Amino acid sequence: MAGPSASFTMTIGPVPFKDVVGEAAEDDDHITPPTEYGDIISTLPSINYLGRWVHYQYQGGWVIHQRIPGVLSFQRRFTPRPGDVLLASPPKCGTTWLKALSFATMARAAYPPNSAEHPLLRLNPHECVPLLDDLFSAGQHDKLEALPSPRLMNTHMLHSQLPSSVADNIDCKIVYICREPKDMLVSLWHFAQTISPIKFTDVFESACEGKSTDGPIWNHILGYWGASKTSPERVMFLRYEEMILDPVDTVRHLARFLGLPFTSAEEAAGVPANIVKLCSMETMKAVEANNIGTSGIFLKFPHKSYFRKGVVGDWVNHMTPEMARRFDSIVDDKISGSGLSFRP
C-alpha cells in the first residue's frame, strides 16, 4: 500500500473562515433561509422588541425572527467534529475579543502572533470565526464543511438551545464569555444605535422584564455557568472583567483549557503577551478591516461598531443610581443560589 506522498500537506485549523468561503458568506444573493419550520415557529410566543424587531421565545430565550429558523436548523443539522471549539456568548459581552484571542491562540503555530502577516491584521475577527446562528439561518451551514479541523465557531444561542450532540459532546469544547449585565446593556444600546435610533431607557425597561436579544441575560449566563460547574473540562466560563484585569493569564488558561498549553519556550518568547497585544483594543482599532465594511448576514453592523470603549463600569454614565439598584436587584434575585455574583 502506498504511504502518504511526500508532497501531501494537511491544513490544520483554525483558518480564517473568510479565506475559505470568500466574500459570498454575507452576500444577500446567497441567503436561502430554511423554510420548513413555519409550523413550529407559528406556535411560539413572540414580542416586538423595542417596537422594531420581532423575537420568538424558544427554549428559555428570545431569538430574533431572522435567526429562529437557524436555531431550529442548527439543532437538527449540525454535525460536530472531534476538536470543534464553540465560543458562546450573549451579544455585547466581548465576543469579538474572545474570537480574536481564541483564533490567535489556537492558530499560533501557523500564524505567529507577532507576524506582520497575521490574519487578524487584515480581517475582522468575525471574518475569522463564523457565527453559526447566522450561517444556519441563511442556509449556508455547508460552508462549515470546508473548514479544516479543529474548527473554531461562535454562537449566541443559550445553553438550553444547544442540541445534545454539542452540549453533551466530550469532543466539543465550549468557551463562554459574559459580562456585568449593566455594562452589557450599555454596550448593547450603543451598538443598536449604529443601525437604529433607540432610547436607552427603552433598552433598560425591556431588559428589566427579561426581554433582550438572546436574553433574558440571566438565563443565558446561568445555563453556561451551570454547565461549567458540572463539566469544567468541557465548558470554560470567562468574565469580561476578569479578562480586562489580566488578559495574559486569561490566554494561558484558555490555551490550557483547549489542550494547547504554552511551552516554556513560548513563554520565554513572550507568545501569550504577543497574543494579547495583537488582540488588544489598540491594535484592533488600528486595523483597516476593523474600520471599513460590515458583519452580519441579516442585520449588517459596521465592523467599527464592535470596538468602542472596552472598559468596565461604563454603566455609571448612562444609569441613575436608582436604575442601577433596580437592575442589580432583579439580576441578584434571578441568579441567587447559583454561586455566581456580579457584585464587587
In 3-state terms, the chain is what percent helix, strand and coil (to 5)?
A: 50, 10, 40
Tell me which of 309, 329, 332, 336 binds ligand A3P, using CB under 6 A.
309
Q: Which three cell numbers stand for residue 274?
A: 504577543
| Catalytic (active site) residue 156 | yes
- In sequence order, what are the residues at sequence separation of 6 or more whose Cβ sits closer than 8 angstroms to the Cβ of residue 121? 278, 283, 287
> Where does this chain touch ligand A3P (CB under 6 A) — which range of 3-11, 18-26, 50-58, 307-315?
307-315
Tell me which of 175, 284, 319, 331 binds ligand A3P, using CB under 6 A.
284
The Cβ-side half-sphere exposure at 259, using a 13 Å CA radius, reads 12
Nearest distance from residue 244's CB to ligand A3P, in Å? 7
> Where does this chain touch ligand A3P (CB under 6 A) — which range of 7-15, 73-81, 106-114, 274-282?
274-282
Select which of 118, 126, 141, 156 is catalytic: 156
Instruction: Measure CA of the first residue to CA of the last residue in the chain; give whole Å.
Output: 64
Tell me which of 307, 315, 323, 331 binds ligand A3P, using CB under 6 A.
307
State which residue, 52 or 309, has the beta carbon closest to ligand A3P.
309
State which residue, 80 or 302, has the beta carbon closest to ligand A3P.
302
Tell me which of 294, 310, 324, 326 binds ligand A3P, using CB under 6 A.
310
Residue 97 binds ligand A3P (CB under 6 A):
yes
Nearest distance from residue 309's CB to ligand A3P, in Å? 4
Contact indicator for 96, 307 with CB cutoff of 8 Å: yes
* Interacting residues with ligand A3P between 211 and 250 (CB under 6 A): none
Burial of 139 (0-12, 13-18, 19+ CB in 10 A): middle
Residue type, position 283, single letter: T
> Where does this chain touch ligand A3P (CB under 6 A) — which range of 92-100, 113-121, 264-272, 334-342?
92-100
Q: How far apart are CA 117 and CA 123, in angstroms?
A: 11
Contact indicator for 3, 39 with CB cutoff of 8 Å: no
Q: How far apart are CA 193 and CA 252, in angstroms?
A: 35
Tell me which of 190, 220, 303, 318 binds ligand A3P, using CB under 6 A.
190
Contact indicator for 14, 103 with CB cutoff of 8 Å: yes
Nearest distance from residue 14's CB to ligand A3P, in Å? 18
Residue type, position 47, single letter: I
State which residue, 60 or 310, has the beta carbon closest to ligand A3P.
310
Question: Of 308, 299, 300, 92, which is closest to residue 203 (Cα–Cα)?
Answer: 92
Nearest distance from residue 337's CB to ligand A3P, in Å? 27
Tell me which of 66, 96, 137, 154 binds ligand A3P, using CB under 6 A.
96
52-71 burial by CB neighbour count: b if 16+ within 10 A, else e? ebebbebbebbbbbbbbbbb
Residue 281 binds ligand A3P (CB under 6 A):
yes
State which residue, 77 or 308, has the beta carbon closest to ligand A3P.
308
Residue 254 binds ligand A3P (CB under 6 A):
no
Q: Which residues bind ligand A3P (CB under 6 A)?
A: 89, 91-97, 183, 187, 190, 279-281, 284, 306-310, 314
